[in-house]
Homo-oligomer: A and B are copies of this chain.
Amino acid sequence: MVGAVIIAHSFIGKELIETAEYIVGKIEGIMAISIDFKMNAFEVRKVISEAMKQIDQGDGVLILTDLFGGSPANIAFSFLNKDKVEVITGVNLPMILTFWNKRKGRSLSELAKLVRLSGIRNIVVAKELMGEKGTFKKRIPNRDRQVSQK
């Protein structure tokens, strides 16, 4: 099964994984790396390299990064010359849930396309989904544990 490493500034990756696990339960084969700018590029590459070894079960690793053109993404790109590595930028929560939901039986490149697509499709301006009456045209799914209604 394909693994994933989120490489991002601050603790964006950690919080995304914690949230996804809050929603769907423990997710195996995913790890977050926070890029600390006190580290030099050599150290950062070493940390990423070790994380990828730990995560890779033989089917490859999907690297998710926060910003195209940001340092975490630029460092991640330097791993693209390896076999079975894909990098996607602009990570958001739907992408983590799709990684979890769709990876079974899928190749790295198939999964990368699905993860990208779910990231894109879930970026929605709510009012554009509403009819003239100011109500949603479709029922909004509940993809979450509910906030207590008491």
- What residues of chain A have their CB less than 8 Å away from a CB belonging to chain B? 8-12, 14-16, 18-19, 22-23, 35, 37, 39-41, 44, 66-71, 73-77, 80-81, 86-95, 97, 109, 112-113, 116, 119-120, 122-127, 130, 134, 136, 140-150
How many copies the complex holds: the figure is 2
Residue of A90, A95, A143 contacting most chain B CB atoms (<10 Å)? A90
Ordered by A's residue number, 21 sampled pairs between the chains whose C-beta atoms are within 8 Å are A9-B22, A9-B23, A10-B19, A37-B147, A39-B148, A40-B147, A40-B148, A40-B149, A41-B149, A67-B93, A67-B144, A68-B140, A68-B143, A69-B143, A70-B144, A71-B147, A74-B140, A74-B142, A86-B125, A87-B127, A88-B124
